Structure 1
Amino acid sequence: MQSIALTPEHYLGTLPEDRKQAIQELRNTIKQNLPPGFTEVMSSGMIGYVVPLSLYPSGYHCNPQLPLPFINIASQKNFIAVYHMGLYANPDLLNWFKSAYTKQVKTKLDMGKSCIRFKKVDQIPYGLIGELAAKIPPQQWIETYERQVKR
């Protein structure tokens, strides 16, 4: 079920305690490592980090009135998810992440095109998610998006 929370704090307040702690730690990790220029918002019922319209007025191609999404985090029914659009659009970043994950985490990577799923909150590699968040500044994400996604 998609959250109707209007703020990250409200979203966190709706979660069970174990999920709240994990999402809060993911949120803190991303905010501490994300390059300057991204903005935290509620996006599609999740906590999101976007390129604001002030930096990229063209917005998201699916709805140009929305800022360009980059990373989202969410508590889903059976897992905690990190959605990182850069993994979908940048094969080099995806290869780096898969390699780093297997070196740092004992469990098998559970992943879709841009979604990393964590079924056990005690197995979230926060440090690795921080490294991933730090890898792409907003301008590089805009260039990748325009080259790979927007076409």
Structure 2
Amino acid sequence: MRLVHLLRAVTVELHLRGAEFAAHNGLHPTDLRALIQLLDAERAGEAVTPGRLGEALRLNSAGTTALLDRLERPGLVRRSRDPHDRRRVLLVVEPKAVELGRSFFGPLIGALVDAAEGFNPAELDAVRRYLAAALEAADTAGRGA
């Protein structure tokens, strides 16, 4: 249970940092979660539609539209037509959003990377496996399975 409690403490601290970032930049906490989803998808080379984003954030269509409107106004995200299927809309994170995140979260990310350097590859693999299993457990429990 000590590991679970420590994970909870890290989660709470990261949530507080995210809320601080959102408040400082006039964003809703869901806006930050959306940006993270979009950046993760971009890093994985995956295209994201409004429907896919809404599903990932567990938002209905109206909520997703309001979210995207909020992110478009300050120039953080834009909607773009899929060049292969003009009926489909894709979401693109603008460089302004990346720079905003980097300026706020960069020191934290640097500190986390530095902390990881104190572990050998086998230890890091165990941490990765545990965090992946914890994420899966949270997702499964959150969906009522």
For Structure 1 versus Structure 2, the TM-score category normalised by the shorter chain is under 0.3
Query: TM-score, normalised on structure 1?
Result: 0.25
The structure having more radius of gyration, on CA atoms, is: 2
Between the two structures, name the one with larger relative contact order (CA 8 Å, sep ≥ 6): 1
Query: TM-score, normalised on structure 2?
Result: 0.25
Normalized per residue, the structure richer in helix is 2
